[in-house]
Amino acid sequence: MPLDFPSNPVANQSYTVDTRTYVFDGNAWNLSFGPLTALNSISVVDAGGDGSLTYDASSGVFTYTGPSATDVRSHFSAGAGISLVQGAISVDSTVVRTTGVQTISQKTLDGVTINKNVTMGVYTLTGSVLDPINGPIQIKALTGPTFFSDSLTNGTSILLMLTGANTHAVTWPSITWVTDKGNVTPTMTGADTVVLWKANNILYGAWVGSST
């Protein structure tokens, strides 16, 4: 829109159009930036992200608010075995630690060096399933005829301690006995220890001896 300046202006005469003020310097009209005009000529665009930036045109003050702790934490998330609570990062029980007591299951260890004692679990067998998942050492007190079933897998073994096998019949699953006389089923004496293991899908057994 063309400006309609006053005719025959005198020096320092002002002319305002909308929010713009012009001042005649004796030769030409010049846009005047007084305090209010200058303040109103500035603006701020907050394009998003953490924190905020604002501008007060009445005072000319810029205000920057940095990101809050909540803003920062929102960019992080926990992963497998990692928990994140109020900015504190920690590992849960699924992660193997170098200190403390933990129960670790379903892991494959390769090239492990053990420098101290290993404690093996001892399980009291109430049923008749020979399953190494119950522990490497199992104790079974026979109270009647028992038909054992095989749940061993290749590479697993059980040390089985039996009592009462001299008075209660024991029926073993398909098993190859390893003795000095070949594949011969041992005769139980009352407090017997038997080692069972599986290799190449064959269940093997060896009578260790008796404590009676």
Q: Structural domain boundaries of the chain?
A: 1-41, 47-94, 122-210
Pairwise pLDDT comparison (85 vs 130), residue with the higher score = 130
Buried b (16+ CB within 10 A) or exposed e, 73-96: eeeeeeeeeeeeeeeeeeeeeeee
Q: What is the pLDDT of residues 54-111, one digit of tens each?
A: 988 777 788 999 999 888 888 888 888 888 888 888 887 777 777 877 777 778 888 8
Contact 136, 157 (CB under 8 A): yes
* Per-residue pLDDT tens over the stretch 136-163: 999 999 999 999 999 999 999 999 999 9
Whether pTM exceeds 0.75:
no
pLDDT attached to residue 84: 83
CB 131 within 8 A of CB 152: yes
Which pLDDT band holds residue 192 (cuts at 50, 70, 90)? very high
Q: What is the pLDDT of residue 28?
A: 87
Q: Is the pLDDT of residue 24 over 60?
A: yes
> How far is the C-alpha of 58 from the C-alpha of 135, rounded, in Å?
79
In the numeric block, the tokens 């009209």 are attached to: 29
Average pLDDT, the chain: 88
Q: Is the pLDDT higher at 4 or at 174? A: 174
pLDDT of residue 11 exceeding 60: yes
The C-alpha atoms of residue 194 and residue 136 are separated, in whole angstroms, by 12
The answer to whether the beta carbons of residues 148 and 170 sit under 8 Å apart is: yes
Q: Residue 40: which pLDDT band, with cuts at 50, 70 and 90?
A: low
